[in-house]
Amino acid sequence: MAFIRILLVSLLLGWVWPSWAFVASERPDHYNLVGQIEIFVDRAGTATSDEIISDPGRFDFKPTSLFTKVVNFGFSDATYWVKVPLSRHPDAPEKWILEIPYLGLYEVCFYAPGAPVVTSGAIAPIESRPFEYRFFAFPVTLKNETQDFYFRIRSNYAITIPLMLYSLAAFNNAQVTDTMIQALYYGGLISLLLYNLILFITVRDRQYLIYCLFTGLAGLGIFAGNGYGRLYLWPNAIEWDLVSQNALFGYSGVFAMAFTAIFLRTRTTQPRFNNLLIVAGGLYLIFGLLFTATVFNQNIPTQRVSEAFFAINLLGSFACLYGSFQAIKQGHRGAYYFALAWGSLATGSIIASFRVFELVPSNAFTLYAFQIGSGLEMMLFSFALATRIQHERLLRENAQSDALIAKQATLDALKISEDRLEDAVQKRTEKLQHLLMNEQAIHEQYVRFGAMIAHEFRNPLNIIEGQTSMLELESESGISHTQKRTSAIRTATFRLSSLFDQWLQSDRIHQQAGHLEKTLIDLGALLTELVNNSRNMHPDFQFEFVNPRNPIQIEADSHLLQIAVLNLIDNSCKYSPKGTIVTLSLVRNAQQIALSVHDQGQGIRESDQERVFDLYFRASLDDRVKGVGLGLAFVKRITELHGGHIELHSELNAGTTFTLWLPISGGKRP
């Protein structure tokens, strides 16, 4: 109830005593003063500051409504004097800031008691402003008693007088908030601009370039209209700053009409509307040039040109909105967003025009209506472009699908005709392929067998070379082991002769390479002979053969089996220290025979055991050991030819055991 009484008293005093001073208190820290001021309209423009300040009662100062937020006078040649009576509560700070957050005022002179006049406004140098700020702000010092502050305002643009009172901290906070909001707005515009510029560079479609030009010029016009152009781009170009917003809007209107024509394809779908767009684009260009010309010719009536431009801009927006609705009726994809875009701009233009011509009140929304509408327009234009891209992609996909269907139908027809030809040549082709595969298999077996024979030649030759070298060294030292050396050489020579005989069996090598010539073999006798030969070939090693009591016989290829066992014995000697034991053993179960060769060598790494049977793979831990990685691959191949398999058990520095598991029946041919 106390609050209501205070409010009623305040209203009564506002009606009865218009000159009642506004009292600033500690809280809140900012106020809208428009409802607390008095305004004198000097239509002749003859009143001086001395006359006004010394005797304000002589002039017809009229109070504004207590509920008014912004005073709007539209286009006017008159001079406006604003009287602001202020005082402060004892608890309130002394330092405050008066702000006029509107840039369309050409001249703003501020008169504070006991202080020199501050001349500011759109036509004043930027340095004349007390703050480096896009709006007009003036510092004031308030006292407990009432003081009258005055503004003298005139402009060739629509006159709007918003007036705010801020504490220093509140003013700084308001600046930060305003800057953040504007940064978000321009950041969004820049994002749209860059996105469509990238699309233009990628697809080379001129509509994206025209959209970028429209967006860039419109955004720059809003940037200038918000005072940032004067602050950051052309601080000393006063004449250009006065008309920059309208000039840039005029140039952007040219590209807006061109973009509308291209996007809606009005040349073919709406010829009459297309002609209207050409005329509208020409008018926008003329107005842009007129505003630019005022920089060089002060006689051009800027106010009248601005009024006409507002009308043309409004008509252009409605025309494009009409064309968008026609495109929607024609089923144009993306026209819905296009209509919303022009509707947003038209709404913003209507509100801005009505505000200029005093048809709607001035407030934060009506002041920024055009900026909001243009921002929505550019965003919706981007949505329209995206919708068009999606539609064109669907059309391409459908066209590709239709083309694929037609192509498939053609292929089906061709296939029917080709099936007959394929049936005629299929049998012959299969026969040729069968012959080719047989030939390739024989060739591969021949190459594999040849590599195996070459490898087997290498081992006895190494033995002969080593024994010969030992003979020479022993002869020089007076040591005689001739019989031992010659016996080893004889054994190696015998092995070479046997291998050479195999090589000369050309029918087997060329026609049946890798196939088995099985005979009934006594494995115990065969291994006993191989062990005796190995003692001569490797005299530095001991050999043991664990021969079972009962004879073990198997159907196998004697030559290939000897190659396999000798390879295992040679490997054991290569990778074992001299003087160690190489053990051969035979074990038989119901279906298989196990032939094992065990050494006391360095062993094989666990990581190498899976690959040790691959061609050309060497698992040696000593690079000085000669070899090409074929021996174990041959052993595995010979075992598989007999229908068996090979097992490996090895640990580093604990020896290695290879076991050949051979079927008693002799196995299958590969």
The encoded tokens of residue 75 equal 């286009």
How many whole angstroms separate alpha carbon 374 and alpha carbon 386? 18
The string over 45-64, giving b where at least 16 C-beta atoms fall within 10 Å of a residue's C-beta and e elsewhere, is eeeeeeebeeebeebebebb
Whether 272 maps to a domain, the answer reads: yes
Q: What is the mean pLDDT of the chain?
A: 80
pTM: 0.53
Whether 524 maps to a domain, the answer reads: yes
CA atoms within 13 A on the CB side of 110: 21
User: What integer pLDDT is reported at residue 450 of this predicted model?
Assistant: 65
189 and 326, same domain (yes or no): yes
Residue that is last in its domain, among 394, 413, 434 = 394
157 and 189, same domain (yes or no): no
Give the max Cα distance, the chain: 149
197 and 168, same domain (yes or no): no
**In this predicted model, what pLDDT tens digit does every residue of 495-544 receive, in sequence order?**
676 556 545 543 443 444 456 788 898 898 899 888 888 887 788 899 99
Give the lowest-confidence range in 181-190, 288-297, 617-626.
Answer: 617-626
Whether 503 maps to a domain, the answer reads: no
Q: What is the CATH number of the domain that holds 366?
A: 1.20.1070
One-letter amino acid at 649 equals H
236 and 339, same domain (yes or no): yes
62 and 133, same domain (yes or no): yes
105 and 153, same domain (yes or no): yes
Among 89, 98, 104, 193, which Cα is nearest to 143's? 89
247 and 305, same domain (yes or no): yes
Residue that is last in its domain, among 153, 174, 195 = 174
User: What integer pLDDT is reported at residue 511 of this predicted model?
Assistant: 44
Q: What is the CATH number of the domain that holds 580?
A: 3.30.565.10
pLDDT band (50, 70, 90) for residue 356: low
Higher pLDDT, 287 or 344: 287
Higher pLDDT, 444 or 572: 572
**In this predicted model, what pLDDT tens digit does every residue of 358-397 receive, in sequence order?**
566 656 666 667 667 777 777 776 776 677 667 667 777 7
Please tell me which of 1-10, 513-522, 656-665 the model is most confident about, judged by mean pLDDT: 656-665
**Rounded mean pLDDT of 182-187?**
86
Q: Could you tell me if residue 578 is left (phi over 0), alpha (psi between -120 and 50 degrees) or otherwise beta?
A: beta
H or E element, residue 154: strand 147-154
106 and 134, same domain (yes or no): yes
Whether 416 maps to a domain, the answer reads: no
Higher pLDDT, 59 or 317: 59
Percent of the chain with pLDDT over 70: 81
User: What integer pLDDT is reported at residue 649 of this predicted model?
Assistant: 92
**Rounded mean pLDDT of 214-233?**
88
What is the Rg, in whole angstroms, of the alpha carbon atoms belonging to the chain? 52
**In this predicted model, what pLDDT tens digit does every residue of 128-164 receive, in sequence order?**
899 888 899 999 999 999 999 999 999 988 888 889 9
Whether 42 maps to a domain, the answer reads: yes
pLDDT at 262 over 50: yes
Whether 470 maps to a domain, the answer reads: no
Residue that is last in its domain, among 174, 206, 241 = 174
For residues 597 and 568, is the Cβ–Cβ distance under 8 A? yes
β-pair partners for 98: 138, 165
Percent of the chain with pLDDT over 90: 21
What does 88-101 look like in DSSP terms, one character per residue? E-TTS-SEEEEEE-
How many whole angstroms separate alpha carbon 73 and alpha carbon 653? 105
150 and 236, same domain (yes or no): no
User: What integer pLDDT is reported at residue 103 of this predicted model?
Assistant: 86
Going 319 to 324 to 325 to 329, the CA torsion angle's sign is: positive
User: What integer pLDDT is reported at residue 402 of this predicted model?
Assistant: 78
How many whole angstroms separate alpha carbon 594 and alpha carbon 597? 10
Whether 82 maps to a domain, the answer reads: yes
Give the lowest-confidence range in 400-404, 440-444, 464-468.
Answer: 440-444
Q: What is the CATH number of the domain that holds 23?
A: 2.60.40.2380
Domain count, the chain: 3
How many whole angstroms separate alpha carbon 108 and alpha carbon 272? 48
pLDDT band (50, 70, 90) for residue 453: low
Range of the domain at 162: 16-174
97 and 148, same domain (yes or no): yes
What does 350-361 look like in DSSP terms, one character per residue? HHHHHHHTTSS-
249 and 363, same domain (yes or no): yes
Whether 100 maps to a domain, the answer reads: yes
For residues 29 and 167, is the Cβ–Cβ distance under 8 A? yes
**In this predicted model, what pLDDT tens digit does every residue of 293-319 receive, in sequence order?**
998 888 888 878 887 887 887 788 778
**Rounded mean pLDDT of 474-489?**
74
pLDDT at 640 over 90: no
Q: DSSP class of residue 435?
A: H
**Rounded mean pLDDT of 33-45?**
90
Angle formed by the axes of helices 369-477 and 238-264, nearest 10° = 80
Strand, coil or helix: what is 335?
helix
255 and 346, same domain (yes or no): yes
